[in-house]
Structure 1
Amino acid sequence: MIGEISTEATVAAVRDCFERYNGALDRGDVEALNGFFWNSPATIRFGPTETLFGYEAIAAFRSRTWKGTAGVRIIETVVVTAFGPDMATTNALIRSADGSVSRQSQTWVNLPEGWRIVAAHVSASPP
């Protein structure tokens, strides 16, 4: 059974993680970014130019390939939906300095080590 949907405490906890993750993204803090992902072969991240299966692939991408965000980003919309106290999704629209809009979706799970991203997807929004 899922339990209560979008309780205030769970939404606040995940929103805080989401904001800290995006802060690390804006700072180009690779170590912090990697720390937000579940350290498991089951973790997935699909990006605009990459398809990554497993924490090791995600960490390698960030450490060797990733160049950081380009310029200023503005999070225009974010929706946090919690499914009980231990699982939630975040879905956001983010506008870049050049005016383009991207979509960021994350699935967060509250594990013994804390809230971690277990699946993520970033893509361009249709014009």
Structure 2
Amino acid sequence: MTIEIDHPETRAELQAAFMRYETALVENDVAVLDELFLVAPTTIRYGGGENLYGYAEIAAFRSARSPAGLARRLDRTVITTYGRDFGVASTLFYRDSAPGKVGRQMQTWVKTVAGWRVAAAHVSIIPDPAGGEKT
């Protein structure tokens, strides 16, 4: 079986979902962030200081998170789809509050009857090996 990579319409849908997530993240729109995660006990989010297992833990984290300092700039964002209902979004990000550091985010997305949802996510921040953002 051959899997179609980056079907144009599917990729555009996932890119729109990713950007909706990004907007909700920097605006701390918890309702949209909750909506965009798959409601399942198998949904996982590894963050900068937390390991969250299941939708309930992720939603609890979001509702308790401080809205301060969420602004960021994205770089080298790559959206790849596999077939018509699975994809991965990867990006680097920079925050003014973390000079000399680069954030890395990867999300595994699945398309459900309700739309695209994050089934797994990983966020980490490391010293910037390049010494500054590349835009």
Per the normalisation by structure 1, the TM-score is 0.93
C-alpha distance in structure 1 between counterparts of 2:7 and 2:71, whole Å: 32
1:67-99 alpha-carbon deviations (Å, 9 max, x no partner):
135153111121011110000000000111133
Runs of 4 or more above 4 Å deviation: none
Instruction: List aligned pairs for 1:104-119, cutoff 5 A.
Output: 104-119=105-120
Q: Which has the larger radius of gyration?
A: 2
Instruction: List aligned pairs for 1:84-123, cutoff 5 A.
Output: 84-98=83-97, 99=99, 100-123=101-124
Matched, 1:23 2:20: no
Q: CA deviation at 1:118?
A: 0.2
Residue aligned with 1:75, SS: strand
Residue aligned with 2:38, SS: coil
Query: How many residue pairs are counted as aligned between the two chains?
Result: 126
Contact 1:25 1:68 in 2 (8 A): no
Instruction: State the Cα RMSD in Å.
Output: 1.4
Q: Which amino acid aligns with 1:43?
A: T
Contact 2:91 2:106 in 1 (8 A): yes
Q: Which amino acid aligns with 1:75?
A: L
- After alignment, is 10-19 or 91-100 more displaced? 91-100
- Structure 1: give runs of 5+ residues left out of the alignment: none
1:101-123 alpha-carbon deviations (Å, 9 max, x no partner):
10010000001111000000000
C-alpha distance in structure 1 between counterparts of 2:56 and 2:22, whole Å: 20
Per the normalisation by structure 2, the TM-score is 0.88
C-alpha distance in structure 2 between counterparts of 1:42 and 1:87, whole Å: 16
Q: CA deviation at 1:125?
A: 3.2
Report the identity percentage. Answer: 40
Instruction: List aligned pairs for 1:1-127, cutoff 5 A.
Output: 1=1, 3-64=3-64, 66-68=65-67, 70=69, 72-98=71-97, 99=99, 100-127=101-128
